[in-house]
Structure 1
Amino acid sequence: MTTLETSPVHRTDPHRGFWDFIETRPDEEKWELIEGQIVMQARPSLIHQVIVVNLQRLLNEALERSGSSWIAIHDPAIDLRPFITGHTYVPDVAVIDAAAIEPDRNVVDGCYLAAEILSPSDHRKLPGTRQTKIDVKRTGYEALPLCQAALLIEQKSRALTLSVRSGEPWIRTRLTGDDRLVLPGFGLACAVADLYARTPVGRG
C-alpha cells in the first residue's frame, strides 16, 4: 500500500483542517493525520484485505464468547486528542466499545486494540522527522490510556509484532508462524498463521 501526502488545510488547527479536507473527498478514500500532515492511504492489496477480515472475525468471535461489550471493526478514525495533538489514525482493525457506535459517527477518541497490516510505505520516514510512519503510529497508540494492545502484522510472511500494556511500560514481542497470539483481555487465543488463512502466505 502506498501513500500520497498533502499539506494540512488549516495550519493553526490541523484537526480542523483535516476534517474540512475530508469533507471534500470521496467516501472510499482513506486519509490520516500524522504529525500534522494529511496522508492518504492507497487501496490495499488483496492479501491485506483478507488478513483484515480474518483478524476482525477472530476478535469478534472471541469477544462474543467472553460476553464483552467491545467490538472489532475495520477502518475507524481514532482521534488522539487530548493526549497527542495533530494525529488522527485509521487502523486497519480496532476494538472499540460498541456503545460508541452511533448514526453518522465515524470517529472515536480511543480504542482498546489497534492493528496495522504493514506495507512498504509504513517503513518510510515521515517528511520532517527521523521516524517511520509506523513507528510514529505505534507510539501514538501506546499513548492512549484505553489502549491495551497494538499489532503490527506483516503481509509477506507469517509474522507480527505485538505490543501489550503491562502497567506503565509496554512489552513488545515478535511472533511468527505457529506461535500463539494470546490476548486474555479480548478472549483471543489463536496461531499467528490463522491470520493468514486463505492467502498464499497461509498456504506457504
Structure 2
Amino acid sequence: MGAGIKEPSKDPAKAGRMSGERFRAFQEGRPDHERRELIAGVPMMMTPSFSTTLWRSTTMAASQCSVPASSSGRANFRPEPDVAVIDADYEPGQRFVDRAYLLAEIVSSTDGTRVPDTDAKWIDVKRTIYLAHAACEAVLIIEQDRMEVRLDTRTSAGWSSQRWVRPTN
C-alpha cells in the first residue's frame, strides 16, 4: 500500500458499520463455532457462557437463526438467539433461517451492553426485534445470574408478558 493509504481492516468490528446483508455474507465465511451478533451495524463476538453450551447441545445446532430486523425498523441489527424453534424444512449445512416461532435468550454479560446511539441495553433491543418478527409466537428471556424468567406470548389481542422471579423468604 502506498503512503497515506490504509489497508482494509481484517477485524470486522473495526471495518465500519455493516448492513444486515453484509453481516450475513460475513458470517457465511466464519467457522460454525464462532458466534457474532450485529449491534448497531457493528459485528460483536458473543460471550461464551451456559447459553453457548445449551446452543451447541440442541438439535438446532446445525442452523443458526439470525432474525431479520428490518420489520422492526432496525436494519443494522442481526441478533442471534441462543435457542430457536424453527421450521423443520431446512437444508443440511444451511446456516440461517428467516422464520422462527420461539426465540430464547439466556442473558450474558454482553447483553447488558448499551447499544450505540441509544440508551437501551442489547437484551432489550433483541427482545423488541423478536417481538416484531412476524412468525414469532413466543419470546423467552432467561437470566443467567439469578432466578428470573420472562415469557412473552402472542395472543389474539397482542403480546402478553409474564415474569417469574425467585420468591424471597
The TM-score with structure 2 as length reference comes to 0.75
Matched residues in 2 for 1:22 and 1:50: separation? 20
Range with greater deviation from structure 2 (16-25 or 164-173): 16-25
CA change 1:161–1:27 in 2 (3 A) is same
Establish whether residue 122 from structure 1 lines up as the match of residue 129 from structure 2.
no
CA contact (8 A) 2:85 2:100 kept: yes
Alignment equivalent of 1:150, drawn from 115, 134, 139: 139
Residues 1:139 and 2:146 aligned together = no
Q: CA deviation at 1:25?
A: 3.5
Number of residue pairs the alignment of both structures matches: 154
Going from structure 1 to structure 2, the CA distance change for 1:168 and 1:118 (only over 3 Å counts) comes to same
Structure with greater helix share of residues = 1
Q: Secondary structure at the match of 2:105?
A: strand
Q: 2:42 aligns with which of 20, 37, 40?
A: 37
Q: Is residue 2:13 matched to residue 1:6?
A: yes
Corresponding residue number in structure 2 for 1:113: 102
User: Distance between the aligned counterparts of 1:111 and 1:131, measured in 2?
Assistant: 24
The secondary structure found in structure 2 opposite 1:105 is: coil
Describe the superposition over 1:62-86 as per-residue Cα deviations: whole angstroms up to 9, x where unpaired: xxxxxxxxxx625722231552422
CA contact (8 A) 1:77 1:106 kept: yes
Cα distance, 1:53–1:21 mapped onto 2, change above 3 Å? closer
Q: Distance in 2 between matches of 1:159 and 1:49?
A: 19
Amino acid at match of 1:80: P
Aligned residue in 1 for 2:24: 19
Q: CA deviation at 1:53?
A: 7.7
Q: Paired residue for 2:148, among 151, 159, 177?
A: 159
Q: Give SS of 1:83's match.
A: helix
Compared with structure 1, are the counterparts of its residues 9 and 93 closer, same or farther at alpha carbon in structure 2 (3 Å cutoff)?
same
Match runs of 1:53-68 below 5 Å: none
| Paired residue type of 1:115 | A
| Aligned residue identity for 2:140 | L
Find the counterpart in structure 1 of residue 8 from structure 2.
none
Structure 1 residue 32: Cα displacement = 1.2
1:97 counterpart = 2:102? no
Structure-2 change in CA distance of 1:132 and 1:145 (3 Å):
same
In structure 1, the residue matched to 2:65 is 77
- Following the alignment from structure 1 to structure 2, what is the Cα–Cα distance between the partners of residues 168 and 76? 30
Gaps of 5+ in 1: 57-71, 179-204
Evaluate the alpha carbon distance shift between residue 164 and residue 150 of structure 1 in structure 2; reply closer, same or farther with a 3 A threshold. same
**2:67–2:130 CA contact under 8 A, matched in 1:** no
Amino acid at match of 1:92: D
| Counterpart Cα distance in 2 of 1:176 and 1:33 | 30
Shift of 1:23: 4.4
